[in-house]
């Protein structure tokens, strides 16, 4: 009945203890997220399979049959399915990236307050941020892998280079996730996210070359589309999937996306500190 109280550690650690690396701290937060994910992974796998199946079937195959009949010259003489699938891969990565970087962040700081639990441990705010980004990367890797498998099953893969589209799609997701996480940590109301979805995610999804070439847009709108991160992801995934990518083009797109992700990380290192260390 009288449980033993745990004793205090009396002797302080002898000498200076080498601080664990930032990487190992980030992994500790990453493992928190994987533990949390264990409750929901089944459902999330279902939807990550179902979503590409539905899109590729309805639009790639269904609508694609109509498109192919009217000639696919503007698509570069390939089937609409082969055109659409790599674009959707990048778009799906964007969606995963945004999904992981909005409500989960606000929830951790406002509702469940679990970020504060991590901040009270040896982890620093930047470690908490990086740990979450690692988890986001894992989710991107999972979803993009599932997407590629579905794509292959639909016969939408035209070149072995599609393997290279895999990391590009993951990078596309991170180019969204890093800056949005850096911003989401400062957000106080979840209504801000509705703006991101309405004025960010949906227009990008529809007009960044996923469903039709940007060259089909009115002239004034084309430069805007070329400036969006999603277009860079879509364009590179597509040319890799079709086996037409050039080195220069690849470097340009990867550079753009990597710069965005890096900027997001740099900003997030500050915003996480500002929010968690009041």
Of 136 and 208, which CB lies nearer to another protein in the complex structure? 136
From its phi and psi, is residue 246 left (phi > 0), alpha (psi between -120 and 50) or beta? beta
CB of 18 to another protein, least distance (A): 10
Of 8 and 14, which CB lies nearer to another protein in the complex structure? 8
CB of 214 to another protein, least distance (A): 42
**Which residues of the shown chain bind another protein in the complex (CB under 8 A)?**
3-10, 12-13, 17, 19-20, 24-25, 28-29, 31-32, 35-36, 39, 112-114, 116-124, 276-278
Of 120 and 247, which CB lies nearer to another protein in the complex structure? 120
DSSP characters for 176-220?
Answer: HHHHHHHHHTT---THHHHHHIIIIIHHHHHHSSSSS-GGGS-GG
CB of 39 to another protein, least distance (A): 6
CB of 188 to another protein, least distance (A): 16
Of 136 and 172, which CB lies nearer to another protein in the complex structure? 136
- Whole-number Å distance between alpha carbons of 191 and 2: 50
Dihedral of the alpha carbons of 42, 148, 52, 98, in degrees to the nearest 10: 70
CB of 278 to another protein, least distance (A): 6
Of 20 and 227, which CB lies nearer to another protein in the complex structure? 20
The residue among 86, 127, 94 whose CA lies nearest residue 213 is 86
CB burial of 34-72 (b: ≥16 within 10 Å; e: otherwise) equals eeeeeeeeeeeeeebeebbeebbeebbbeebeebeeeeb
């Amino acid at each position: 009945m009288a449980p033993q109280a745990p004793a205090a550690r009396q002797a302080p650690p002898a000498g200076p203890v080498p601080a664990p690396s930032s990487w190992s701290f980030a992994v500790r937060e990453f493992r928190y997220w994987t533990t949390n994910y264990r409750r929901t992974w089944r459902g999330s796998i279902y939807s990550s399979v179902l979503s590409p199946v539905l899109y590729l079937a309805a639009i790639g195959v269904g609508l694609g049959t109509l498109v192919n009949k009217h000639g696919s010259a503007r698509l570069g003489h390939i089937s609409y399915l082969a055109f659409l699938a790599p674009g959707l891969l990048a778009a799906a990565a964007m969606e995963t990236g945004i999904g992981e970087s909005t409500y989960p962040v606000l929830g951790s700081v406002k509702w469940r307050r679990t970020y504060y639990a991590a901040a009270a441990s040896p982890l620093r705010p930047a470690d908490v941020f990086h740990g979450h980004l690692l988890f986001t990367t894992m989710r991107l890797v999972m979803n993009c892998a599932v997407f590629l498998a579905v794509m292959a099953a639909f016969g939408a893969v035209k070149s072995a280079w599609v393997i290279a589209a895999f990391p590009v799609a993951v990078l596309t997701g991170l180019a969204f996730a890093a800056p949005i996480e850096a911003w989401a940590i400062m957000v106080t109301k979840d209504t801000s996210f509705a703006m991101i979805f309405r004025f960010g995610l949906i227009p990008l999804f529809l007009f960044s070359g996923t469903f039709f070439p940007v060259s089909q847009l009115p002239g004034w709108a084309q430069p805007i589309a070329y400036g969006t991160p999603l277009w860079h992801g879509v364009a590179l995934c597509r040319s890799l999937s079709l086996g037409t990518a050039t080195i220069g083009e690849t470097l340009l797109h990867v550079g753009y996306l990597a710069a965005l992700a890096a900027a997001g990380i740099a900003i997030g290192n500050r915003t996480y500190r500002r929010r968690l260390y009041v």
